Copies of this chain bind each other. A is one copy, B any other.
């Protein structure tokens, strides 16, 4: 596939087109990913998550500058509707980000959240892999929300940074136990604001309380991203965590798990797609949908009838084995 060839040879326009194909759910995704996969696994993936309004995009902006100063190529994925990278936030923020938009060594992509309020898009892991294959050294993924997106992110990155700020205090209180489970690095941004010291000591106490026998001690990094304060330390902690997961084998383990999930997900997705297709085309099955909608049969009995129908099972296996996908 020419587009993939071009992307692999460093053409950023081709990369952008491939990402669009993936996001749009093109029927060529499976074919694209087969070609892309052998070239993945080199980029280090860092996720930043936390409530909106805490300056996550500024942090991504600053981290990108540090990585670029070391000659590294950077991919940025903003799944945050409030991010200047994805067109949200204030005009000033967006202008500030433009230095990276003009930099050939930086690829920036914003992705829509799954719903209007959050959740990582289902295609994010494919997009990460394509950007990885294009030769980026580090990929920064910015997500927002207190909810499903945090759970998704640990499945897709190597280091998770949870961003808090003094103003997030009250709401975040109750979430602490959950945040603890996913954070590799805590950072307190806007550390010059009132309440920052209290927040840091509270978090330190909480970390001591929950400390487990692991090789990695979760650090708390205080930053003022707008003033570029603490960013070098944050970058250093990312490096330290990277070394740690490398040495302990945790990185290999996480990536194994990611590949396994990708496999099962792909199977489920393909089978579900055929299922929906069959239901759409088959008159008998369509009648079940009607009956269920009208309440004439309950959804569970209807599902049973479908799964016990020989005709359905024969069609399903025929369709699955005859899937005509481009490139198959």
Whether A268 pairs with B263 at a CB distance below 8 angstroms is no
Give the chain B neighbours of A299 by CB distance below 8 A.
Answer: 33, 37, 259-260, 262-263, 266
Looking at chain A's contact residues, the main secondary structure is helix
Give the chain B neighbours of A103 by CB distance below 8 A.
Answer: none
Whether A117 pairs with B147 at a CB distance below 8 angstroms is yes
Whether B146 pairs with A293 at a CB distance below 8 angstroms is no
Residues of chain A in range 274-328 having any CB-CB distance to chain B below 8 Å:
275-276, 279, 288-289, 292-295, 298-304, 306-308, 310, 313-314, 316-317, 320-321, 323, 325, 328
In-complex Cβ contact of A321 among B81, B88, B308 (8 A): B308
> For the complex, is A181 an interface residue (Cβ under 8 Å from B)?
yes
Whether B307 pairs with A321 at a CB distance below 8 angstroms is yes
* Complex A-B: 11 CB contacts under 8 Å: A37-B301, A53-B174, A81-B175, A117-B146, A145-B145, A171-B171, A259-B293, A262-B300, A267-B303, A270-B303, A316-B316
Whether B181 pairs with A116 at a CB distance below 8 angstroms is yes
CA distance A158 to B37 in the complex (A): 45
Whether B262 pairs with A272 at a CB distance below 8 angstroms is no
> For the complex, is A61 an interface residue (Cβ under 8 Å from B)?
no
CA distance A73 to B101 in the complex (A): 59
Known: A88-B174, A259-B292, A292-B259. A118 touches B33 (CB 8 A): no
> For the complex, is A210 an interface residue (Cβ under 8 Å from B)?
no
Whether B51 pairs with A256 at a CB distance below 8 angstroms is no
Beyond A116-B182, A119-B147, A263-B288, 17 extra complex contacts between A and B, CB < 8 Å = A34-B298, A37-B300, A51-B171, A81-B178, A88-B174, A115-B148, A115-B150, A116-B177, A117-B147, A117-B175, A117-B179, A145-B147, A264-B275, A267-B306, A270-B303, A270-B307, A308-B321
Residues of chain A in range 142-180 having any CB-CB distance to chain B below 8 Å:
145-151, 167-168, 170-171, 173-175, 177-179
Whether B263 pairs with A271 at a CB distance below 8 angstroms is no
> For the complex, is A52 an interface residue (Cβ under 8 Å from B)?
yes
Known: A299-B262, A301-B34. A313 touches B321 (CB 8 A): yes
